[in-house]
Amino acid sequence: MIPNSHRCWAEVDLDALRENLAWIRHRVGPDVQIMTVVKADAYGHGLKPIAALLMQSGTDIFGVANLTEARHIRAVGKGWPILMLGACLPDEIPLAVRDDVRPTLSSLPEAKAFHAAAARARKILAVHLKVDTGMGRLGVPLSDAPALVRHIQRLSALRLEGLYTHFCAVEDDAVFSRRQAEQFRRLVDTLDACRLKPPLIHANNSGALLHQPDTHFNLVRPGLLVYGVSPPGKRRSTSRLARDVRAALSWKCRVSLVKTIPPGTPLSYGRTFVARRTMRVATLTAGYGDGYARAGSNRAEVLIRGHRCPVVGRITMDQMLADVSRVPRVRCGDDVVLIGREGRQQITAHELALHFGTVPWEVLTAITCRVPRLYHGATAA
């Protein structure tokens, strides 16, 4: 039972997360490690509870965006390797060394700065070198990578543990993605021939797990798939993986008022919706202050008593409206499904992303901190 004090909340099915990770493990095989990406509060699912579950469920490494996320993981349990996927700022370098967070390196100056900090701390720090094969954000150019690998391996306070790249359009562009994979593979082969290849080689994010199964190497970096959402795109996957994962998060609010309005009645700010007929309209206890984007105004749908109900009028900070004319039994206090399943109907993060003009990653991570996350499943205890 959901306590009456909750006006808007998210429910997280821990069993679904555990099963998704197990399926990915089965998919890549026992010789490939899994780095579970838990950036942005574990994609909106709640970092600490999700990290605890993943530790129990067999993840090998955690991928984070910043040192604060790394510290939250350390607070849950020690001993798991953590890779910071973004570049460290200069003042973060000694903190990363102190906290034993593996940094992503893209240049020789970064490597030298980490070497100096690790030497001062009398540590040998494991690092990963990123190679830019087309993403354009971080990473050393392909042509400079062999020389940088040699430089890093000469720095006594650093241990080059990993080499990786990142697909930039794997869900949409098969040709460019294959080119990225071929360039990276040639680099790996070159380093191997020179006995310079690091122990861990990785390229696959969630999209590449579906579309580039030949580039698992010995480590993969699933994010969205762990949470049961397949990355959208133009490419059709022949893998059963996208169908077999199960969405872990559902998002709900409640009906606070139901009223009947006559034709010609405007609804919400800006009068963007004017009733053409007599309507029953429900006021809902969620808005963009909870992360439900204003872009869904007059476009999105919600589930009430198992029926799809259109969102009408502009979404406001704390409330929005839905047309419940065809659901006569709707009452004040009823649950409303924003993401999730009720009866035979389901609203997915993909669907909301289409209404919001964005991607599922943003839909999930935009759910704000004022929305409590409630956990259930065999592992919740």
Q: Supply the residues annotated as catalytic.
A: 39, 269
> What is the rounded CA–CA span in Å between residue 56 and residue 8?
29
CA distance 54 to 223: 12
Nearest CA-CA partner of 224 in 240, 208, 235:
208
Sheet strands (E) in 238-319: 249-261, 266-267, 273-274, 279-284, 301-304, 307-312
Smallest Cα–Cα separation from 330: which of 363, 307, 359, 298? Answer: 307
Query: Token pair of 339, please?
Result: 């993401």
Encoding tokens for residue 356? 């919001």
Burial of 72 (0-12, 13-18, 19+ CB in 10 A): middle
Got the DSSP string for 189-238?
A: HHHHHTT---SEEE---HHHHHH-GGG-TTEE--SGGGGT-PPP-SSPP-
Quick one: three-class SS letters along 26-56? HHHCCCCEEEEECHHHHHHCCHHHHHHHHHH
DSSP code for 236:
P
In degrees and rounded to multiples of 5, residue 285 shows phi and psi of -95, 50
Structure token pair of residue 211: 């579309």
**SS3 state of residue 257:** strand
Residue with tokens 């700022």: 89
| CA–CA separation, 76 and 52 (whole Å) | 6
| Residues 52-66 as b or e (16 or more Cβ within 10 Å = b) | bbbbebebbbbbbeb
- Interatomic CA distance for residues 305 and 166, integer angstroms: 43
Q: Collapsing DSSP states into helix, strand and coil, what is residue 22?
A: helix
